[in-house]
Amino acid sequence: MKSIFSILVFTLISSITSCVTKIPIPESKLDYIGTWYKSDGSWLSISANGRGDFDMPNSNVSGGAVTLTDEKITIEILGIKSNWTIVEEPYQEDGFWLMNLTGNIYEKY
């Protein structure tokens, strides 16, 4: 009985997350696409189709919608969201992709 309940909950959550409206990342912002890691193990992932995921110490989202402006990145699903202020857009340094979000350096592998 417990496994049936788990399957139903998983199916419901999957259905809801697939209904979140995602807007593809514009061509001018393609450098943002990828998974970006912070030195503390936190990360955020931006897909070309506008899907976003993140994992931070007190919060995580999988299958959220990305809103990307010149000033900030937002990933949100079902009222759970996180914002990052773009201090420096993605840039390459010594062969590595870096960007500064809210005063923290993130690296894309």
How do residues 48-59 score in pLDDT, each as one tens digit? 999 999 999 989
- Domain ranges in the chain are 2-108
Q: 49 with 24: CB under 8 angstroms?
A: yes
Q: 68 with 80: CB under 8 angstroms?
A: no
- What's the pTM value of the predicted model, to 2 decimals? 0.81
Element at 108 (helix H, strand E) = strand 104-108
Instruction: For residues 81-91, give the mean pLDDT.
Output: 96
Distance CA 66, CA 51 (A): 6
Q: 56 with 40: CB under 8 angstroms?
A: no
Assigned fold of 2-108? Lipocalin (2.40.128)
pLDDT tens digit sequence for 27-78 = 999 999 999 999 999 999 999 999 999 999 989 999 999 999 999 999 999 9
SS3 86: strand
